[in-house]
Structure 1
Amino acid sequence: MRLLPPAAEPFTPSTERDMLPSERREFVRTHRTCVFGYPRRHDGPAMSIVYYVPTDGDELLVSTMAGRAKAKAVTRDGKVSLCVLDERWPFAFLQVYADAVIDRDPDLTVDVMMAVGWRMSGQQTPEDARPFVHEMAAREDRLVIRCRPYATFGQPPRHLYANEQATELTHWKSASVAWDATDSVAH
């Protein structure tokens, strides 16, 4: 498994149609933040904004502390949702449904933390920082949540740029699509 580097440019979906399955995967691979959602024992679902790191095997990796609710929920249930966010106007999103497991490998944890730092700062974390990141990971009892997508749901952005456009704006239905679906799938 190889962690993918940050994309030079995030994928921009068409505003005229639903994303194809391959475009959905590219959207996820080229973005960096999501709303991480998981079921709670009481109340509604919990959600938090996190950076994620995609792999060449289509996993999405999230760093968290073992004592946080995200890790406890994944241990309890293993079903999560990641609402991948576009950071450019007009905003798009893609809901990713995933099976999640906890991985306590300290080397992977440090790799993911360094990759998140790269996404946060726009600069690759230098290798000489690895011992400091390793110490932080141990002190904070960090681990990795490995998310394996199995389906997506999304709609491309539809926005008004002027109120006169209101009569021209159209919407369409979207549907959940299997993560590994081919582009020949009808929407």
Structure 2
Amino acid sequence: MLPSMPRPDREAFLAEPRVGVLGVADPRGGGGRGPLVVPLWYDYEPGGEVVLGTNRESIKARLLRDAGRFSLCVQDEKRPYRYVSVEGPITSIEDPIDPAVREALAHRYLDPQEARDYLAATVAQLQDDVLFRMRPEHWRSADFAAFAADFAGEA
């Protein structure tokens, strides 16, 4: 059994600025495909909803609307490895995206000057982007620190 994280730890981990990997059902091609799985920026505050933005006409947005739910996985590639995965229903779609939310996402992932430059260069996206909110229902997590401590003790 994987060493899962206690709730406060997994929520704090998800709240850190990590690139998330979105998974959403993709029935195109008669269901012969797997889910669409793509990296993206997201936001989350403990106890809240997962928030992500994308172009309203993108495949991602169309699949999210159709599925009505999605999964998000984030990880730490440094040892000891950790990950959190959440899945749940989309609770709202905000069209267009609130400029303040888009700005907060840019500042979450970029240093201040890069965020300003990015927002200036992509200002037209404000008219094309939508925001999806998801309430996490199912959580999966693992923190391999306990295993690492066991292995370190054997050296």
Give the TM interval when normalised to the shorter protein. 0.7 to 0.9
Structure with greater helix percent: 2
Q: TM-score, normalised by structure 2?
A: 0.75
Match of 1:70 in 2: 60
Match of 2:16 in 1: 30
Structure-2 change in CA distance of 1:49 and 1:57 (3 Å): same
Match of 1:122 among 111, 120, 124: 111
For CA contacts below 8 A with separation 6 or more, give which structure has more relative contact order. Answer: 2
Structure-2 change in CA distance of 1:160 and 1:27 (3 Å): closer
**SS in structure 1 at match of 2:137:** strand
**SS in structure 1 at match of 2:144:** coil
The alignment status of 1:103 with 2:90, answered yes or no, reads no
For residues 107-154 of structure 1, the C-alpha deviation after alignment (integer angstroms, 9 at most, x for no partner) is: x2x22321222133232745xx9777553322xx11111111112012
Q: Percent identity?
A: 23
The alignment status of 1:79 with 2:65, answered yes or no, reads no
Stretches of 4+ moved more than 4 A in 1?
129-134, 158-161
**SS in structure 1 at match of 2:105:** helix
Q: Is the 8 A contact 1:39 1:45 kept in 2?
A: yes
- Distance in 2, matches of 1:121 and 1:160, equals 33
Match of 1:21 in 2: 7
**SS in structure 1 at match of 2:141:** strand
Structure-2 change in CA distance of 1:56 and 1:130 (3 Å): farther
**SS in structure 2 at match of 1:53:** coil
Q: Is the 8 A contact 1:114 1:133 kept in 2?
A: no
- Distance in 2, matches of 1:91 and 1:57, equals 24
Once the 2 structures are TM-superposed, how far is the Cα of residue 105 of structure 1 from its aligned partner? Answer: 3.9
Structure-2 change in CA distance of 1:31 and 1:130 (3 Å): closer
Match of 2:130 in 1: 143
Once the 2 structures are TM-superposed, how far is the Cα of residue 57 of structure 1 from its aligned partner? Answer: 5.7
- Distance in 2, matches of 1:158 and 1:45, equals 30
* Structure 1 vs Structure 2 CA RMSD: 3.1
